[in-house]
Amino acid sequence: MIVESIAPFGAKNARSEIKLEDGSSFVLYNKEITKYGITEGADIDSNMIEEISVALYARALKRSGELLKSQDYTEKKLSVKLRSGGYPESVTARVIKSLREAHYVDDSLYAQNYIKYHIRDKSCKRIRNDLIGRGITEDVIDEAYKAVIHDEEDPELLRESECEQIRVLLRKRRFDPETADWNEKQKTMAFLYRKGYESENINLMMKQVEV
């Protein structure tokens, strides 16, 4: 495999990105590049590529462990973090697979914990969108909601939680259904819609709220 280019990577200039003719790339420390004798235009054989891949896998696994010590990651977020650090897609995929099998990354558990933490301060729609943005699939989110609601043993939990959140927001805005004109009601409804609350719950609480 021919090396097309070698360019500095990162602010400290201690590493460089090696791009190959097939469009793939990886990042090594400059001393490693010297050790392997990699230069622009050089031909890297399959044995050297495999050796580099093994070394990068071990490094990426260690880096993942360091990241997971400080916070939980979804598979997508951790993949993005590793890719931004210069690890090739093939290595990143292997690391994620290993961590998934060892349950160090668990999108289902991540979703359940996120729902439990935010169920009383965010709408269901907002929570769902947040989790989708973190790379968690709709199916996993649905199962996570079922697990959380089952744990709480209250099928009305989500609706009651949303209504209470809306009540708090309306009071903060000093919304008074008795004195609010049409424009104020429309602005308030739009504000609550943007936060992901259900129209049925919004209409109900806008009639009931007490300032």
Residue 155 phi, psi dihedral angles, 5° rounding: -65, -20
Check whether 166 has a pLDDT greater than 70. Answer: yes
Per-domain boundaries in the chain: 1-44, 46-104, 107-152, 160-208
Contacts of 169 (CB under 8 A, 6+ apart): 191, 192, 195
pLDDT tens sequence across 75-117: 999 999 999 999 999 999 999 999 999 999 999 999 999 998 8
Rg value, the chain, Cα: 25
CATH number for the domain whose boundaries are 160-208 = 1.10.10
Tokens (6 digits) for 159: 């609706």
pLDDT at 148: 85
Q: How far is CA 51 from CA 30, 63, 80, 91, 94, in A?
A: 16, 19, 24, 12, 15
* CATH number, domain 46-104, options 1.10.10, 3.30.70, 2.30.30, 3.40.50: 1.10.10
pLDDT tens sequence across 109-159: 999 999 988 988 888 889 999 999 999 999 999 999 888 877 554 657 778
Residues written for the chain: 211
